[in-house]
């Protein structure tokens, strides 16, 4: 979990989202619909964007889970300063209005940039299509992903 | 208007703005990006119970009995609540309190709240709901507003003065509308309709209540209107409001959908008092669709007369508004449906007759562009039809009817700044209108529309002469300035806006401002985030408070340096002596000097609107201290085989006065525009013939993904407003309005069909295409 090995006991029908939010206090992953429609609960499971609300917690066993809380510490552990570049770019571009969808959105963007460091607008749209945002109309989110890809930081 | 309410439009220290107008970060952006920001559902308290709501399966029924004994006996259930325990009615508009937290006598729509259970966890609470036995006497349900209009039986609300199903009726005439018929070169009369759409914020409603050991109660709620929730709680719980604290944590989107007091707020509070434990209720996505308060469906009839040159001579409107089961903001909606149409074009004669009826459906309320998006759609399409018939370019006809700035509308609204003409110029330019409109291949088209909206109004929902917005400032010896504001940041960035204005006024960096907002124990009252009032009103209050502090700081430094006050300038956290350039100090040192001279530093700021509006009943509803203006151009592709409309591009130009942060303004324009576009071709808050929601999920209620959203280009127009904070006006709702008719008008340009009934489904497109073919 965000680089740590942790053991958690939870009822067998609990989802990963329930374990994150209720057992571990990792409330950065949001519950917007609890049925896989909105993407606000997106986490990375071995680097792959995954809906925590549709994943039984047990499926996370022996997997590397990254939640939104894990990005800043990982960035610092890599010797980075300030915020994680994707998080920073989302802030600079105005991509965060209410911010509720953004933990999931940012993790989807992280996964995209990990495999495609210079994505086109179309590729960005495709990769973020599982994350609903009701505030922005998406344009400033695309700009944030492009800015993060350029790796410019203030 | 008091002097404190007007602060000028210029930079406070001369030589241009240092913070305002710059692309500053938001005060809470990184907290949201890193998961640090706490939303209501993120609050976990020791021993907290989880509550669930039992909802009506019937659209209209009398509740004969509610037996909760089996639920209470279930292990893990700690508290159960029924309507009789919260009998006092409430409603956001004090004249129409017709809601109960839980049904006391009747249920009025499928999803209406009946009982609640608090248990050790959500699963147990859900299980207990199944054990509650409710006996209903089913009544006829009224789902069609036309039926509601003419059918007094059964009354959805009993015990009102009116013994029918009419929620509100407004009939106003300005000038002489009928007299224009004979003189007019053209008369156009058509029916239009707007369907039901909802806000769908990604955060569902949530509330947490904690009983405090000192006899007080704290409520955290995902609300846009902390102050009204505070008042409503005191009323319904019969508690001294001084014993209630309401806090709005970080809010995951509202768009008007969280601006009523909601049943869950009363229920968790009462359950917390009853059980002595903290209680949380998080609504499932399905329940958010029942809570609704979305855009009112309207059936609209418009008759416009004009001269050959396109000049409008009269507009006559008759509107039927589907209110759903409760009043909500309905009184205001009914007025807004007529009052907000009288710009940006001059209506020499105008009449509207609006009737809001009750139906057995989830209640309608204020959705972004409250009450005025629907009439705007109808009128802008009608204006386009007139332009076509008179062979006038659609942008040109809008220019010809421009009402101007520093003028009054026919219904008595004061228009001050008005950048609408530039908005038209911008979208004409951005869309390459002259070269492309009417010249694109069949199936492709361009359309235009315009609109205006309020920056708050001078009508607080309960009559009082106290300020509409207040702030309090406190200075720390570290140099940090804390601003306390009752304003609700719902993602639109109002806390950031407050920080920018105070930083500008004090000449310090925004990073030295901390904003504490929407906590009734700590913050002075603001009326809430609705009617696009926050930038204008809280912004002016923030400048007012900061200017008072600035006076003290300047005076203290001037005395210390033995110079005139005008020689002291604060800039970016440094104080400079203009009389002797070499001398400076930090703002922290200046704060210390001021504290020595004036004691502990703090100030308050406030704002109230001037006297506004027409001198007639309802004349102040919709009377705003400043109006924003918008123009949209849209480009669509219509597939004539499938009937599918694809919105390709939308260019939006919005006059928001001075843009306090252009990134945030752009976000509001783009967000509004995308939301409007979705209402045309994707979204439908549809009910079946029993009043059951057709698809209460984010899969079935289709809000656009990144693949569905059109390309957006926002252009900011800055007609500096004389009374706005440094000249600013609203940007959060205005830029939705004209998106919708611009798309409708683009469809006409693309394939020659006039679609007057939303949403524009493929079936409607194909039918219209067939009719057109038959005509030809």
Give the mean pLDDT of chain B: 97
pLDDT band for position A152 (cuts 50, 70, 90) = low
- pLDDT average, residue stretch B560-571: 95
Contacts of A35 in chain B (CB under 8 A): 285, 697, 699
pLDDT one-digit tens code per residue, B445-463: 999 999 999 999 988 889 9
CA A31 to chain centre: 13
What pLDDT score was predicted for residue B580?
78
Q: How far is residue B404 from each of residues A102, B54, B401, B407, measured CA to CA in Å?
A: 41, 54, 9, 7
What pLDDT score was predicted for residue B5?
85
Give the residue carrying structure tokens 């990005």: A71
State both tokens at B533. 């009032």
Contacts of B127 in chain A (CB under 8 A): none
**Is the model's pLDDT at B736 over the cut of 90?**
yes
Best mutation target, A21, A67, A94, to test chain B (most B CBs within 10 A): A94
Tell me the C-alpha distance between B423 and B421, whole Å: 5
**For residue B63, which of B106, B2, B20 has the smallest C-alpha distance?**
B106
- pLDDT average, residue stretch B383-402: 98
- CA of B452 vs chain A CAs: smallest distance (Å): 21
- pLDDT average, residue stretch B222-238: 98
- CA of B291 vs chain A CAs: smallest distance (Å): 15
pLDDT one-digit tens code per residue, A106-131: 999 999 999 999 999 999 999 999 99
The chain A residue lying nearest B676, using CA atoms, is A137
Q: Show Cβ contacts of residue B357 under 8 Å, excluding neighbours closer than 6 positions.
A: B145, B148, B149, B165, B166, B167, B320, B321, B322, B323
**Is the model's pLDDT at B60 over the cut of 50?**
yes
Contacts of A142 in chain B (CB under 8 A): 706
H or E stretch at B220: strand B217-221
| Interchain CB distance below 8 Å, B703 and A134 | yes
Contacts of B699 in chain A (CB under 8 A): 35, 37
Best mutation target, A84, A134, A143, to test chain B (most B CBs within 10 A): A134
Cis before residue B759, ω within 30 degrees of 0? yes
Nearest CB to B41: which of A31, A35, A68?
A31
| Interchain CB distance below 8 Å, A92 and B25 | yes
What pLDDT score was predicted for residue B50?
98
| Interchain CB distance below 8 Å, A91 and B30 | yes
- CA of A52 vs chain B CAs: smallest distance (Å): 15
Contacts of B122 in chain A (CB under 8 A): none
Give the residue carrying structure tokens 């009839």: B301
- pLDDT average, residue stretch B51-60: 98
User: What's the per-residue H, E or C state across A80-148?
Assistant: CCCCCHHHHHHHHCCCCCCCCCHHHHHHHHHHHHHHCCCCCHHHHHHHHCCCCCCCCCCHHHHHHHHHH
User: What's the per-residue H, E or C state across B614-657?
Assistant: CCCCCCCCCCCCCEEEEEEEEEEEECCCCCCEEEEEEEEEEECE
| Interchain CB distance below 8 Å, A32 and B285 | yes
- C-alpha R_g of chain B: 27
What pLDDT score was predicted for residue A151?
81
**Is the model's pLDDT at A153 over the cut of 60?**
no
| Interchain CB distance below 8 Å, B667 and A135 | yes
Are B227 and B520 in contact, with CB atoms under 8 Å apart? yes
The chain A residue lying nearest B282, using CA atoms, is A31
Length of chain A: 154
Are B56 and B107 in contact, with CB atoms under 8 Å apart? yes
**For residue A25, which of B45, B277, B223, B121 has the smallest C-alpha distance?**
B45
Q: Is B651 on the interface with A (CB under 8 A)?
A: no
pLDDT above 90 covers what percent of chain A?
Answer: 97
- pLDDT average, residue stretch B258-279: 98
Tell me the C-alpha distance between B52 and B271, whole Å: 11
- CA of A62 vs chain B CAs: smallest distance (Å): 24
Nearest CB to A98: which of B41, B252, B285?
B252
C-beta atoms surrounding B575 within 10 Å: 25
H or E stretch at A49: strand A48-51
**Is the model's pLDDT at B183 over the cut of 70?**
yes
- CA of B24 vs chain A CAs: smallest distance (Å): 8
pLDDT one-digit tens code per residue, B677-693: 999 999 999 999 999 99
- CA of A146 vs chain B CAs: smallest distance (Å): 15
Tell me the C-alpha distance between B116 and B255, whole Å: 27
Best mutation target, B28, B33, B488, B492, to test chain A (most A CBs within 10 A): B33
Are B409 and B420 in contact, with CB atoms under 8 Å apart? no
| Interchain CB distance below 8 Å, B671 and A101 | no
Give the residue carrying structure tokens 């940012």: A106
Tell me the C-alpha distance between B176 and B346, whole Å: 15
**Torsion-angle region of B132 (φ positive above 0: left; ψ -120 to 50: alpha; else: beta):** beta
Q: Is B27 on the interface with A (CB under 8 A)?
A: no
DSSP assignment string, B408-441:
E-TTSPEE----HHHHHHHHHHHTTHHHHTTTSP
Tell me the C-alpha distance between A45 and A63, whole Å: 6
State both tokens at A89. 């770019």
- CA of A130 vs chain B CAs: smallest distance (Å): 7
Q: Is B614 on the interface with A (CB under 8 A)?
A: no
**For residue B487, which of B465, B455, B515 has the smallest C-alpha distance?**
B515
Q: Is B667 on the interface with A (CB under 8 A)?
A: yes
**Is the model's pLDDT at A154 over the cut of 70?**
no
Q: Any alpha helices (H) in B301-407, and if so which ranges?
A: 330-339, 373-389, 394-400
Q: Is B491 on the interface with A (CB under 8 A)?
A: yes
Nearest CB to A98: which of B41, B253, B698?
B253
Q: How far is residue B77 from each of residues B73, B74, B135, B209, B270, measured CA to CA in Å?
A: 7, 6, 22, 17, 15
Interface A-B, measured as beta-carbon pairs within 8 A, has a size of 176
**Is the model's pLDDT at B638 over the cut of 80?**
yes
Tell me the C-alpha distance between B620 and B352, whole Å: 16
């Amino acid at each position: 979990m965000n680089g740590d090995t942790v053991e958690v006991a939870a009822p067998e029908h609990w989802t990963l989202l329930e374990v994150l939010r209720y057992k571990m206090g990792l409330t950065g992953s949001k519950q917007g619909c609890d049925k896989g429609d909105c993407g606000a609960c997106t986490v990375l499971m071995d680097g792959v964007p995954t809906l925590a609300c549709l994943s039984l917690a047990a499926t996370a066993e022996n997997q590397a889970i990254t939640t939104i809380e894990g990005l800043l510490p990982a960035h610092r552990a890599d010797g980075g300063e300030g915020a994680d570049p994707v998080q920073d770019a989302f802030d600079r571009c105005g991509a965060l209005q209410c911010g509720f969808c953004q933990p999931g959105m940012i993790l989807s963007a992280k996964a995209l940039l990990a495999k495609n460091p210079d994505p086109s607008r179309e590729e960005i749209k495709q990769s973020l299509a599982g994350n609903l945002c009701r505030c922005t109309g998406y344009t400033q989110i695309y700009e944030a992903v492009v800015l993060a890809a350029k790796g410019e930081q203030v | 208007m008091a002097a404190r309410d007007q602060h000028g439009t210029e930079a406070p220290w001369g030589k241009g703005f240092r913070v305002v107008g710059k692309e500053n970060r938001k005060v809470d952006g990184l907290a949201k990006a890193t998961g640090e920001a706490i939303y209501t559902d993120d609050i976990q308290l020791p021993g907290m119970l989880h509550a669930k709501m039992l909802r009506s399966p019937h659209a209209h029924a009398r509740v004969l009995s509610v037996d909760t004994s089996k639920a209470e006996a279930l292990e893990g259930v700690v508290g159960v609540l029924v309507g009789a325990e919260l009998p006092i009615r409430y409603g956001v508009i004090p004249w129409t309190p017709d809601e109960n937290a839980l049904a006391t006598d009747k249920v009025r729509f499928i999803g209406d709240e009946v009982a609640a259970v608090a248990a050790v966890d959500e699963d147990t609470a859900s299980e207990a709901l199944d054990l509650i036995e409710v006996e209903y006497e089913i009544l006829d349900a009224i789902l069609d507003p036309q039926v509601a209009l003419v059918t007094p039986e059964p009354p959805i609300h009993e015990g009102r003065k009116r013994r029918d199903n009419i929620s509100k009726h407004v009939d106003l005439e300005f000038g002489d509308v009928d007299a224009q018929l004979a003189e007019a070169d053209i008369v156009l009369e058509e029916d239009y309709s707007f369907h039901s759409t909802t806000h769908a914020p990604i955060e569902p409603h949530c509330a947490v209540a904690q009983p405090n050991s000192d006899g007080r109660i704290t409520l955290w709620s995902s609300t846009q209107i902390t102050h009204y929730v505070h008042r409503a709680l005191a009323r319904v719980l019969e508690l001294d409001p001084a014993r209630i604290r309401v806090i709005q944590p970080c809010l995951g989107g509202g768009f008007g959908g969280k601006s009523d007091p909601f049943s869950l707020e009363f229920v968790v509070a009462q359950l917390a008092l009853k059980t002595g434990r903290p209680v949380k209720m998080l609504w499932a996505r399905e329940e958010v669709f029942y809570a609704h308060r979305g855009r009112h469906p309207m059936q609209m009839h418009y008759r416009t007369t004009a001269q050959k040159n396109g000049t409008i001579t009269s507009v006559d409107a008759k509107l039927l508004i589907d209110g759903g089961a409760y009043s909500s903001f309905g009184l205001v909606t009914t007025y807004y449906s007529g009052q907000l149409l009288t710009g940006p074009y001059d209506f020499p004669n105008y009449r509207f007759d609006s009737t809001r009826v009750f139906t057995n459906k989830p209640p309608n309320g204020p959705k972004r562009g409250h009450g005025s998006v629907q009439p705007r759609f109808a009128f802008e399409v009608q204006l386009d039809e007139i332009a076509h018939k008179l062979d006038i370019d659609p942008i040109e006809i809008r220019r010809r009817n421009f009402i101007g700035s520093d003028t009054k509308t026919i219904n008595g609204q004061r228009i001050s700044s008005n950048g609408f003409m530039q908005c038209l110029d911008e979208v004409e330019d951005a869309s390459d209108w002259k070269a492309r409109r009417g010249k694109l291949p069949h199936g492709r088209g361009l359309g235009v529309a315009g609109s205006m909206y309020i920056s708050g109004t001078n009508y607080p929902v309960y009559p009082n002469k106290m300020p509409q917005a207040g702030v309090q400032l406190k200075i720390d010896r570290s140099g940090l300035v804390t601003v306390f504001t009752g304003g609700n940041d719902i993602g639109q960035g109002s806390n950031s806006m407050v920080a920018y204005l105070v930083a500008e006024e004090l000449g310090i960096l925004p990073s030295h401002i901390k904003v504490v907002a929407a906590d009734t124990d700590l913050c002075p009252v603001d009326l809430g985030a609705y009617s696009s009032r926050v930038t204008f009103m809280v912004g002016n209050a923030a400048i007012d408070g900061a200017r008072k502090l600035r006076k003290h700081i300047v005076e203290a430094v001037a005395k210390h340096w033995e110079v005139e006050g005008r020689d002291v300038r604060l800039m970016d956290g440094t104080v400079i002596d203009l009389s002797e350039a070499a001398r400076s100090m930090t703002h922290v040192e200046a704060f210390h000097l001021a504290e020595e001279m004036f004691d502990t530093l703090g100030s308050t700021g406030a704002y109230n609107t001037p006297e506004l509006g027409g001198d007639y009943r309802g004349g102040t509803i919709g009377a705003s201290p400043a109006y924003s203006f918008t123009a949209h151009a849209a480009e669509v592709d219509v597939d004539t085989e499938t009937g599918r409309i694809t919105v390709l591009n939308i260019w939006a130009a919005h006059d928001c006065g001075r843009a306090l942060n252009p990134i945030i303004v752009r976000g509001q324009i783009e967000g509004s525009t995308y939301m409007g576009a979705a209402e045309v071709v994707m979204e439908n808050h549809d009910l079946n013939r029993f009043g059951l929601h057709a698809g209460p999920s984010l899969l079935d209620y289709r809000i656009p993904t990144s693949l569905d959203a059109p390309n957006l280009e926002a252009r900011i127009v800055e007609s500096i407003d004389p009374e706005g904070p440094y000249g600013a006006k609203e940007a959060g709702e205005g830029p939705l309005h004209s998106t919708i008719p611009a798309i409708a008008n683009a469809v006409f340009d693309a394939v020659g069909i006039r679609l007057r009934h939303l949403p524009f489904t493929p079936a409607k497109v194909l039918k219209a295409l067939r009719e057109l073919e038959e005509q030809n």
